[in-house]
Amino acid sequence: MWSYSFEIPTLLVILILLVFYFSRPRLPLKKNLLFLQMIAIETLVIIFDIAASAADNNYQSVPKWIVVNLNMFYFIGFFTWSFVMFCFSLSVTRASIVLKTYMKYILSTPFYLGIIFSLVSPFLRLIFYVDDLGYHPGILYPYIYVVGFSYALTSLFIICRFRRAIPKREFYTMVMYNNILIISLIVRIAFPTTLLMDTFVLIDIIIVYLAFENPEYFLELRSTVFNSIALREYIEENTGKMDYKVIGIVVHRYQVIREIYGAGQTDAGLNMIGKYLNQLFHKDKIFYNRKGRFVVFVDSKTDVEYACRTISRRFSQVWKSDEAELYLTAGFATMELKGTEYSVDEILGAFSRVMEKAGNSEGGEVFYISKEDVQKNKTDTQIRRYLESAIDNNTVELYIQPLVNRRGTIVGAESLARIKDFDGNIIPPGMFIPLAESSGRINEMGEQIFEKTCSFMRYLKAENLYLDWINVNLSPVQFVRTDLADRYASIARKYRVDPELIHLEITEESVVDEMFMNNQIQGMGEKGFKFVLDDYGTGYSNLSRLKTIPFINIKLDKSLVWGYDKEPDAILPNMISTFKSMGFGITAEGIENSKMEDEMKEMGCDYFQGFKYSKPIPSSEFFEMLSRR
C-alpha cells in the first residue's frame, strides 16, 4: 500500500508558488523557462504519483488499463523531471553554451532511454508491470535510480568545474540543490512505500526560488520594469540572435534633478515614467538601468524617431501623482542590434557612454550608436586599462624628439609621452591623451612626464651635455589648475633645473578665458617658465590675443607645413613675417624632407622639428644621440 499523505500539502505549496511566479513579469531567459518547466513537470509528477498510487491501492476496482497508463505517465514524468532538473543546473552554470553537440546527445541519452522503457513497459514489463495482483516493479526498475543519481552527480561535477563562472550565491544554492536531490533518492530507496520524494523536490524548488529565481530580484520601480541585472542577463543570453533595436531614454541632468526634487519625488517620477513606457511599449521589454536611464528593446522595424518624438511630447507635460510633481526633459539614444555579435560589455559600454552624452544634451535629439562607436568604445576601454596601469605605476615613458636650428644643430627638444600595452607595443598619444583628459588623470600623467623631463635635464647637465631648452606639453585640462605653478616649480627645484630651460607648449584651445589665462601665465612666468604656442593653424587663430600673451615661440602645425609643401601660397610667408616682426620665434613641425626644410627656412623659420631629423625616441637613445653630436 502506498502512503501519499505528504503529497497533498506538497502539491498545494507548489501551486501557490506557481501562482506567485505567474503574477510577476518575467524575462524570457532560458534559466527562467527551465525553472518554470521544472515546477510544471513536478506538479504533473505529483498529480500522477497520487493518481497512480491511489489506482495501485485500489487495483481491484479500477480498470487495468487505467492503472497501467497512470503508472506509465508517472514514470515518463519522473524521467523528464530528472532531466529538466539536470538542464537547470547546466543553464545556471552556463555550461550548456560550451558543451559540444555530441556531449549534449550523450547526456540526454539516459533520459530518452527512460522514456522508451516507460512507453514499452505495458508490453515488455521493463520498469513496471500490472497483473491480477496489482502493480509490480519490473526488471529495469532500478534504472530510475541510475538516471536519478547519475544526473544529480553529473550536475554536481559540472557545477564544481564551472564554479568560477557563476556567482557564489548560485554556486552554493546549486550544490545544495543537487545534494538534496541525492538525499531524496536515498529516502525513496529507504522508504519505498512512503511517497516522500516530491516533498524534497519541493524544498529544492523553494530554495532556488528564494536564492535567485524570485522574479522580484529582476524588477525595479515598484515592479513596473526590469532592472539592470535583468538587462545584463537578457543581453548576455541574446547576443548574436537579437532582432531588436534598443532605445535609450535618459532623464536630462539626472543628478541635478535628484538634488532639486529629492530622492522620494525623483523615484516617484521614475515610477510614472516606467508606467508610461509600459503602456507605450506594452509588447516590449523595458529595463531601468540606473541614473535616470531606461532601455527598451523594440522590434527592428520600429520607427525610433517617431517613438522618441512621442516620448518627448509626454515629457513636455508635468509628471504628477499624489507623491510628486516633476518637470523633466529627456534625451535619447538608439542602437541597432540586428545582425551584430557584440558582447554584453560592448553593448552596455557603448550605450552608457552615449546615454551620458544624451543625458547632458539639450533638446530631444536622438543619438545613434554605430558599429564604429562600439568598436571605439571597446578599444578605449582597453587603452584606459593600459593608461591607468601606466599612471599608477609611473611607467609612462619619456620619448624625446630633437629640434634643430637653421644650421641643423640640435638645440632643443620636445618631450612626448608614450604608454605601452601589456605586450609592450607602443600606444600613440593621439589615442590615450584624450582619454586621460576626459578622466582628469592627465594631471598626474603630465606631472610624471614633467618630472621625468626635469630628471633627464639634470642627468644631461651631470654628463656635461647641454640643450638650450626642452619643450613639455601642457594640456588645457592641467592649465586650469590653480596650484599648477607651485607644483611645477617645486618639481623643477627638486631636480635643480632652471625653469627657464623648460618651455611649456599650450594649444590655442587652452586660450579660452583670457583673464584666467593671463593670470595663470603670469603666475607661471614669475616662477621662470616660458610658453610656446603649439599646433598653430589647427584651431581658430586669434592674432590680437598673441599680443597679450608673452609666447616666446609659435609652433606651426605640421598641417600648415605640409599644406604649403603641396601647394605654396602667399599666406604662410606673410603670416610668418608678421609673427617675426612681432618678436616671436618660429618653429616648423612635421619636416619630413629637405624640400620642406628649404621652404620653411626660406620663409624665415628659426627651428625645425620632424622625422627628417629624428622621430621621437626613448630618452636613453636621445641621450646617445646628443653624446655623438
Distance in angstroms (rounded) separating the CA atoms of residues 178 and 591: 72
Per-residue mark of binding to ligand C2E, 591-610 (x: CB under 6 A):
xx----------------xx
Q: What is the DSSP string of 409-471?
A: -EEEEEEEEEEE-TTS-EE-HHHHHHHHHHHTTHHHHHHHHHHHHHHHHHHHHHTT---SEEE
Cell numbers found for residue 336: 541597432
| Least spacing, CB of residue 468 vs Mg ion, in Å | 17
Q: Does 346 bind Mg ion (CB under 5 A)?
A: no
Q: Which residue is nearest to ligand C2E (CB)?
A: 610
Site for ligand C2E in 47-86 (CB under 6 A): none
| Least spacing, CB of residue 516 vs ligand C2E, in Å | 18
- Considering the complex, state which of residue 425 and residue 464 has its C-beta at the smaller distance from ligand C2E: 425
For residue 248, the tally of other CB atoms under 10 A from its CB is 26
Q: Does 416 bind ligand C2E (CB under 6 A)?
A: yes
| Least spacing, CB of residue 314 vs ligand C2E, in Å | 45
Q: Does 505 bind Mg ion (CB under 5 A)?
A: yes
Among 534, 597, 599, 606, which residue interacts with Mg ion (rule: CB under 5 A)?
534
Long-range contacts, 125-132 (Cβ 8 Å, 24+):
127/75, 128/71, 128/75, 130/59, 130/64, 130/67, 130/68, 130/71
- Considering the complex, state which of residue 473 and residue 614 has its C-beta at the smaller distance from Mg ion: 473
Side chain identity at 190, as an amino acid letter?
Answer: A
Taking the CA atoms of 80, 85, 86 and 91 in sequence, report the sign of the dihedral they define: positive
Q: Does 434 bind ligand C2E (CB under 6 A)?
A: no
Q: Does 611 bind ligand C2E (CB under 6 A)?
A: yes
Q: Does 565 bind ligand C2E (CB under 6 A)?
A: no
CB 586 within 8 A of CB 580: yes
Rounded to 10 degrees, the C-alpha dihedral 391/395/396/397 comes to: 170
- Considering the complex, state which of residue 73 and residue 479 has its C-beta at the smaller distance from ligand C2E: 479
Centroid of chain to Cα 219: 21
- Considering the complex, state which of residue 73 and residue 432 has its C-beta at the smaller distance from ligand C2E: 432
Burial zone of 490 (CB within 10 Å; 0-12 exposed, 13-18 middle, 19+ buried): exposed
**What values do phi and psi take at 317, rounded to 5?**
-100, 165
What does 610 bind: ligand C2E, Mg ion, none (CB cut-off 5 to 8 Å by kind)?
ligand C2E
Please choose, out of 114-122, 352-360, 483-491, 589-597, the segment that lies near ligand C2E by the rule CB under 6 A: 589-597
Residues whose CB falls within 8 Å of the CB of residue 9, separated by 6 or more in sequence, listed in order = none
CB 75 within 8 A of CB 128: yes
What does 611 bind: Mg ion, ligand C2E, none (CB cut-off 5 to 8 Å by kind)?
ligand C2E
What does 247 bind: Mg ion, ligand C2E, none (CB cut-off 5 to 8 Å by kind)?
none
Please choose, out of 192-200, 359-367, 465-473, 546-554, the segment that lies near Mg ion by the rule CB under 5 A: 465-473
Among 198, 237, 535, 606, which residue interacts with Mg ion (rule: CB under 5 A)?
535
Give the residue among 625, 571, 560 at the shortest CA–CA distance from 596: 560
Number of residues assigned to the chain: 629
Please choose, out of 59-67, 71-79, 250-258, 423-431, the segment that lies near ligand C2E by the rule CB under 6 A: 423-431
Please choose, out of 26-34, 44-52, 129-137, 586-594, the segment that lies near ligand C2E by the rule CB under 6 A: 586-594
| Least spacing, CB of residue 240 vs ligand C2E, in Å | 37
CA distances from 560 to 555, 565, 583 (A): 10, 9, 20
Long-range contacts, 427-434 (Cβ 8 Å, 24+):
427/383, 427/386, 431/379, 431/383, 432/383, 432/386, 432/387, 433/475
Residue linked to cell 587652452? 510
Among 534, 597, 599, 606, which residue interacts with ligand C2E (rule: CB under 6 A)?
534
| Least spacing, CB of residue 558 vs Mg ion, in Å | 7
| Least spacing, CB of residue 399 vs Mg ion, in Å | 12
Q: What is the DSSP string of 493-526?
A: HHTT--GGGEEEEEEGGG--SHHHHHHHHHHHHH
Please choose, out of 70-78, 98-106, 236-244, 503-511, the segment that lies near Mg ion by the rule CB under 5 A: 503-511
Q: Does 429 bind ligand C2E (CB under 6 A)?
A: yes
Chain contacts with ligand C2E (rule: CB under 6 A):
401, 416-417, 428-430, 433, 442, 446, 449, 473, 475, 505, 534-535, 558, 589-592, 609-611, 616
Note the residues at the interface with Mg ion (CB under 5 A): 473, 505, 534-535
